[in-house]
Amino acid sequence: MVKAASNKITKIKQQFPILQQEVNGKPLVYLDNAATSQKPQSVIDAITNYYTKYNSNIHRGAHYLAEQATIEYENARTKAKEFINAESDMLVNFTKGTTEGINLVAQSFGNTFLEEGDEILLSAMAHHSNLVPWQIIAEQKKCNIKYIPVLEDGTLDMDAFHLLLNKKTKVVSLGYISNALGTINPVEEIIEASHTFGAAVLLDAAQAAPHLKIDVQKLDVDFLAFSGHKMYGPTGIGILYGKEKWLTEMQPYQGGGEMIKEVTLKGTTYNELPFKFEAGTPNICGGIALGAAIDFMNEVGHDFIQKQENEVLAYGTEALSNIKNLHIKGQAKNKAGVLSFIIKDIHPYDIGVLLDKMGIAIRTGHHCCQPLMDAWEIPGTARASLAVYNTKEDIDRLVEGIEKAKIMLQ
Amino acid sequence: MNTIADIQKQIVEDFALFEGDAMGQYEYIIDLGKELPSLDEQYKTDDNIVKGCQSTVWLHAFEEDGKVRFFADSNTVITKGIIALLVNILDNQTPTNIKDAELTFIDNINLRSHLSSQRSNGLNAMIKQMKLYALGFESKINENENAMKNEIKETVKVEELTANEIKGNGNSVVSDVSDVSDIDDKIVVKETVGDEMKSPAQIEMMVTEKIKEVFDPEIPVNIYELGLIYEIQVYPPLNNVFVKMTVTAPNCPVADSLPIEVRDKVKELNEVGEVDVELTFDPPWDKEMMSEEAKLELGFF
């Protein structure tokens, strides 16, 4: 049984050409998947195929190539719809990525529904991309932002959340999984409570999409945004899901081609969903390649991905805990794929540089969560983050590397 | 004393021992970082933080016997090691030598290949900051020298005057005394006035400092250093101010707003009356109008 799993991992890993190389003379161990994951051959092939066989603009051309491209692009939308179990294709908008999705909601929802004095509820562990767009709209509409505090173990202070929630709360926006800590937030509880006050909930699912099976209907979430590049797809493409009742009312975010039905010099009628929010020629190739990435994940299977990552995470948590003076940041019980740590008297940057020289790629810094790092009074952490192709051997290399770096730095 | 070139040569030789051994080179850099004395906490101020570095770097500098002394620190050991290389080379050298130093060791030990592009920018920022300090101390030293020369000239003048008077006047001694007391009085008067009322020259300096707070939005150098200010006139007693300025190009998007910004900035001074800013393109602005600092900042050296 164990053997079968490890065979499967070997086969999966072989599908990633980039992982077959040496860096600084050592076989590459890639542990920076929360920043971006690597891409399997099938995704790379989808990109090559598009440009070698049927590149053309979509939704308008009357010729063969345009028809092919349109079919493939819209197929990818259907795959994304199924990936998150949305009610309909028209609620699935292609975006540049999670950041654009959040900006779209902040501006479009904000301009349509927010009024002076309304409150926006965010989390203190939010990624900057789920913070700044709200700060911008809050200033424009004179709204107030409240923050759900984070407890020492890296979980949200849910008591505080329930106290902060009130009739003035119009939007609650937070990460499904924290990118810096890996904490899986209790989103069901948050969504249910928010809805009793009539507040809409946006989930930043950038870190969740590669690890969990997402079901927007079961979650009853209002908006959900994620990026292709963290789930084995290319950069520059993402998905924003929204409930129909919001998307039909919301004013468009950007104007241009694709999003219009009729344009006269007097005014414009907007196209129907989902095109209303997709101004300009989209990232056609990216959309199609995202479809291929979803195929890849479906083939490997969500159950297998979760089981494999959890096993390696548990192994890694124990192995790192045994390193003297190392402290793992974010020790929530419910956690996905992230080992964020600090070592006493050693700056995370120094660890990162030396690991790199040993062929081990991790991320160091504040992970775009400066307020959280400030609250903990640390300059940042070193972060190893997992994907399905990571193994216990990768963790062994990491531990060995940390021990070696520690000796050099102390 | 070791010259900048000598020290660099030594570093290149040291690094040659670790050819092809990245870990060895790092060990060497880390050791340098550990050996560099920590900066006293009182100097770890925000003002001393070198901007543009990803990890925090503090640089403290002062002038001592015509040489520039550098003391630096960082919160990461590897960065501190890299700073140590720079400090070892540039500390205790003359401002002119520092300003003109060509830091060839960076390419010779292939330092940049070890650094991410952000780190590489940090290294540039560090070098720039050290050279800026050198430039500042250089002009300070020059100013002091000039001031000393002027002082000597003044003394000579007074002596000549006294000698002439002694020559031409029998009552010289008495008149000399009264003359001297007169001068003293004048100085005293000037000083008391200084507290309550500023001279036009002083106002002009204050106006200049204010204008230095204005930036062209696309250029990280203030508009004064950039050479956009052609003329500053102060008209006592109300201290009305007239500023003649330009912008870098006639189609510059801030051509309308920049003069207003200058006017508003200058108006913040309590000491000035009306402020009039005139925009001119005669002569048109040219890169050569930038100060040395500005050129350095923008990488024209």
Q: Are residues A224 and A110 in the same domain?
A: yes
Q: How far apart are the first and last CA of chain A?
A: 43
Please give the residue that has the higher pLDDT: either A61 or A103: A103
* Catalytic position from the list B32, B53, B57, B90: B53
The 10s digit of each residue's pLDDT in B228-274 is 899 898 888 788 899 999 887 776 767 778 888 899 999 888 888 88
**Residue B172 scores a pLDDT above 50:** no
Of residues A349, A357, A365, nearest to B22 (C-beta): A357
B53 classed as catalytic: yes
Mean pLDDT over each residue of chain B, to the nearest integer: 78
> CATH code at A374?
3.90.1150.10
Instruction: Specify the CATH number for B4-138; select among 3.40.50.970, 3.90.230.10, 3.90.1010.10, 3.40.50.300.
Output: 3.90.1010.10
The 10s digit of each residue's pLDDT in B113-144 is 767 666 777 788 888 889 888 888 888 888 77
Whose CA is closest to A356, among A22, A13, A124? A22
In the sheet with A144-148, reading across from the earlier edge strand, the strands are A92-95, A238-242, A223-227, A200-204, A169-175, A119-123, A144-148
Q: Are residues A66 and A178 in the same domain?
A: yes
Contact A408 B54 (CB under 8 A): no
Q: Are residues A30 and A52 in the same domain?
A: no
Q: Are residues A223 and A342 in the same domain?
A: no
- Using an 8 Å Cβ cutoff, are B112 and B82 in contact? no
∠ CA B101-B102-B106, rounded to 5°:
125
Most confident among A71-75, A262-266, B270-274 (mean pLDDT): A71-75
User: What residues in A contact B55, CB-CB < 8 Å?
Assistant: 347, 349, 379
Give pLDDT, residue B167: 43
**A58 torsion bin: left (phi>0), alpha (psi -120 to 50), beta (else):** beta
Q: Are residues A251 and A294 in the same domain?
A: yes
Q: Are residues A140 and A281 in the same domain?
A: yes
> CATH code at A65?
3.40.640.10
Whose CA is closest to A173, among A213, A209, A137, A218? A137
ipTM over 0.90: no
Q: Are residues A168 and A292 in the same domain?
A: yes
The answer to whether B4-138 and B200-297 have equal CATH topology is no
Q: Could you give the CA distance from residue A237 to residue A66 in angstroms, rounded to a whole number?
A: 20
Q: Are residues A98 and A156 in the same domain?
A: yes
Domain count for chain A: 2
The 10s digit of each residue's pLDDT in A378-396 is 778 899 999 999 999 999 9
Of residues B22, B27, B76, nearest to A408 (C-beta): B27
* Nearest residue in chain A measured CA to CA from B22: A357
The 10s digit of each residue's pLDDT in A173-191 is 999 998 778 889 999 999 9
Separation in Å, CA of B246 to nearest CA in chain A: 34
User: What residues in A contact B49, CB-CB < 8 Å?
Assistant: none
Contact A409 B79 (CB under 8 A): no
Give pLDDT, residue B176: 38
Per CATH, the number for B200-297 is 3.30.300.130
Contact B76 A349 (CB under 8 A): yes
Question: How many CA atoms lie less than 13 Å away from A177 in the CB half-sphere?
Answer: 24
* Nearest residue in chain A measured CA to CA from B77: A350
**Residue A160 scores a pLDDT above 70:** yes
Which residue range is the domain that position A63 belongs to?
45-298
Contact A357 B26 (CB under 8 A): yes
Q: Could you give the CA distance from residue A191 to residue A216 in angstroms, rounded to a whole number?
A: 11
**Residue A74 scores a pLDDT above 90:** yes
Q: Are residues A32 and A57 in the same domain?
A: no
Q: Are residues A287 and A309 in the same domain?
A: no
**Residue B180 scores a pLDDT above 50:** no
Please report, for chain B, the start and end positions of each structural domain, with discontinuous segments joined by +. Answer: 4-138, 152-196, 200-297
* pLDDT confidence tier of residue A212, bands split at 50, 70 and 90: very high
Where a domain ends, among A273, A298, A323? Answer: A298
Contact B55 A24 (CB under 8 A): no
Tokens of B262: 């200058």
**Mean pLDDT, residues B45-62 taken together:** 82
Where a domain ends, among A272, A298, A324? Answer: A298
Q: Report whether the peptide linkage leading into residue A274 is cis, meaning its omega lies within 30 degrees of zero.
A: yes
